[in-house]
Amino acid sequence: MSYAAPLKDMLFNIKYLAGIDQIQQLPGMQDAGLDTAQAVLEEAAKFNEGVLSPLNWAGDQNPTSWKDGVVTATPGFKEAFQQFTEAGWQGLQHPVAYGGQGLPKSIGASVGEMQNAANMSFALLPLLADGAIEALLTAGSPELNAIYLEKLVSGQWTGTMDLTEPQAGSDLAAVRTRAEPQPDGTYKIAGTKIFITWGEHELAENIIHLVLARVNGAPAGVKGISLFVVPKFMVNADGTLGARNDVHCVSIEHKLGIKASPTCVLQYGDNGGAAGYLVGQVNRGLEYMFIMMNAARYGVGVQGIAIAERAYQKAVQFATDRIQSRPVDGSLPAAGPIIHHPDVKRMLMTMRAYTEGCRALSSVAAAAYDVAHHSPDAEVAEQNETIYEFMVPLIKGFSTEMSQEVTSLGVQVHGGMGFIEETGCAQYYRDSKILTIYEGTTAIQANDLVGRKTARDGGQTAKALALQVETTEAALTALATPDALAVAKRLAAARLAFVDVVNFMAANAKSNPNDAYAGSVPYLMLAGNFMAGWQMGRALLVAHEALQRGEDTAFMQAKITTARFYADHILTKVPGLRDSIVDGAGSVTALALDAF
């Protein structure tokens, strides 16, 4: 099954919703305009469609395997990764100073989507390297960065994020891996890390593990965790590789999906201790890790959009080819392609609208990130940072939850064939299931949304966004086409529900935490749905303008239709969620524990 990057939709978002022209005005972004976006995306499409996509099914059929400590990737992955690094894709968004291309997230996010749509198992390798690079950029010393960054940015070496231990999953306070200071300023690391994605492989010369561990004598809990670099191979002063470090992959997991990406158990220090290098200051590891996790969380949200897009494309193809039954409206003389059946259209439209809505939201958030990181105006930068941070848990949580509904619909469109593995759509269904779990489960995102992103500022950021939505509603009402009015109506209802819930969260998060957190995930789903729906409303407005100008009529009409569908069929879920959250908190926690 081939994949075609949705270039038009990506460029529409970049141009009209993310506002690439404004981003291009920012210092250092002069070359990051629409032309660059188009050129980069077209190149990325070629690479991902041509090189990574054909390996996706192979990765599911011949998973990466482990034997005697050696992890062997699915055939073809090594060559593909070589092409990937040679083309410079790893450095796309990283600083020019370290050999990257320094492109904005507004462009990079679309490239990330393509990689993940083409081959999610593969794309995890650069995604985690991105995390390691972010962590070093944030907190690494110049000496450490001089050794590691360039080679990570080039893709010559890859990176991992080593947080989880058997007893420490969502609860990183429980991390036990130890770091013993050595006289030379380095540390000996010892412990077991699990669920380490691409924690071992032979696709690159070296693997740079970013590891959470406790320095001897550190305080208990989250305030005693430090971050270390632990290379697979020691690095000599001249940058060449030395001896194998004391970190070994003792097994990989047998998983539901993303089977080509090895999920490793890494054993540190069984032979005297792995050499580790402190990143930043002692006991501030979690703080740094959160910076790199925020980047990764956005990236996982994009994975959701990516796999939803791929599932959608496959379902459309099947629905166009498969002949079964005459349409109910008699529009064909006999049995025809199932895409003629209203319920098949409903499924495909649901897949499409969710995907486009989440893509639009991620694009707008990427723009906020770029402004936050490049604007010379501190206030503007801070405002945008706040908006970006509010949106990250929505992008991570909502886009991944929706991806499971979308990939499930993808199987459903295929009927009985969907249940047969060779058809391929079941792989997307299985692969997507990890997305609501890793880099913080949906509940963890929702805690972040309720606590740090809503209650902490008394709901101010959320309500400022609601005010912006009101402006969009007003513009839709002024436009006054039936589609615009319908979208305005549903947006308004959703906004009122959203504000109610924001007030509820602000009022209860501290004083009545059980009630607030009982509704945390429904709030995330409500807010993600609403924010994505808002972007679809904005998209309708600009598509209408573009239509007036005669620009790409078919695309703009489809965008308006999809926005209308989103409002009618997805935004309509919002008021019910408000009722559950605000009126139904008590029944979530009422059952006695022994009655479960």
Could you give the residue numbers annotated as active site? 439
Measure the CA–CA gap between 79 and 158, rounded to whole angstroms: 15
Cβ count within 10 A of residue 24: 19
CA distances from 375 to 27, 29, 397, 579 (A): 7, 10, 28, 40
Contacting its own copies within 352-371 (CB under 8 A): 352
Does the protein bind its own copies through residue 170 (CB under 8 A)? yes
Binding span for its own copies by CB under 8 A among 5-13, 179-187, 344-352, 455-463: 344-352
Instruction: Determine the interface stretch with its own copies among 223-231, 363-371, 372-380, 441-449 (rule: CB under 8 A).
Output: 441-449
- The two structure tokens encoding residue 215: 């320095």
**Nearest of 496, 467, 305 to residue 395 by alpha carbon:** 305
Which of 81, 148, 268, 438 binds its own copies (CB under 8 A)? It is: 438
Tokens of 268: 């540190």
Question: Does residue 320 belong to the site contacting its own copies (CB under 8 A)?
Answer: yes
- Of the two residues 109 and 531, which places its CB atom closer to its own copies in the complex? 531
Stretch in the footprint of its own copies (CB under 8 A) among 97-105, 124-132, 377-385, 552-560: 552-560
Nearer to its own copies, 81 or 429 (CB): 429
Instruction: Give yes or no for residue 421 binding its own copies (CB under 8 A).
Output: yes
Cα 327–chain centre separation: 38
Cβ closest to its own copies, residue 82 vs residue 587 = 587
Footprint of its own copies on 553-572 (CB under 8 A): 554, 557-558, 561-562, 564-565, 567-569, 572
Q: Tell me which amino acid residue 589 is.
A: T
Contact 317/442 with Cβ under 8 angstroms? no
Least distance between its own copies and beta carbon 281 (Å):
25
Which amino acid, residue 56?
Answer: N
Neighbours of 14 (CB within 10 A): 26
**Position 167 contacts its own copies (CB under 8 A):** yes
Cβ-contact 385, 367 below 8 angstroms:
no
257 near its own copies, rule: CB under 8 A: yes
Identify the residue among 339, 366, 491, 546 touching its own copies (CB under 8 A).
Answer: 339
For residue 511, state whether it binds its own copies (rule: CB under 8 A).
no
Note whether 213 and 276 are within 8 A (CB): yes
Residue with tokens 């880099």: 439
Q: Which of 99, 139, 150, 476 is nearest to 286 (CA)?
A: 139
Closer to its own copies by Cβ: residue 179 or 516: 516
Which is closer to its own copies, CB of 384 or CB of 407? 407
Taking CB under 8 A as the rule, which mask of x and - marks residues 193-212 in contact with its own copies?
-xx-----------------
116, 267, 442, 535: residue in contact with its own copies (rule CB under 8 A): 442
Q: Does 2 bind its own copies (CB under 8 A)?
A: no
**Nearest CB to its own copies, comparing residues 107 and 319:** 319
Of 344, 366, 532, 541, the one binding its own copies (CB under 8 A) is 344
| CA–CA distances in Å: residue 580 to residues 526, 573, 575 | 11, 11, 9
Question: Which of 430, 453, 495, 544 is close enough to bind its own copies by CB under 8 A?
Answer: 430
Q: For residue 164, give Cα distances in angstroms to 212, 232, 249, 449.
A: 9, 18, 14, 22
| Using rule CB under 8 A, residue 441 touches its own copies | yes
In 3D space, the residue among 571, 526, 583, 543 whose CA is nearest the CA of residue 9 turns out to be: 543
* Per rule CB under 8 A, count of chain residues that contact its own copies: 96
Phi/psi of residue 262, each to 5°?
-70, 130
Residues 105-164 contacting its own copies, CB under 8 A: 164
Q: Which of residues 381-400 bind its own copies (CB under 8 A)?
A: none
Q: Does 576 bind its own copies (CB under 8 A)?
A: yes
What is the DSSP secondary-structure string of 364-415? HHHHHHHHHHH-S-HHHHHHHHHHHHHHHHHHHHHHHHHHHHHHHHHHHHTG
Closest by CA position to 245, among listed 270, 275, 265: 275
Q: Which is nearer to its own copies, 34 or 485 (CB)?
A: 485
Q: Does 481 bind its own copies (CB under 8 A)?
A: no
In three-state secondary structure terms, 537 is helix
Q: Out of 349, 476, 484, 488, point to the residue binding its own copies (CB under 8 A).
A: 349
**Residue placing its CB nearer to its own copies in the complex, 375 or 403:** 403
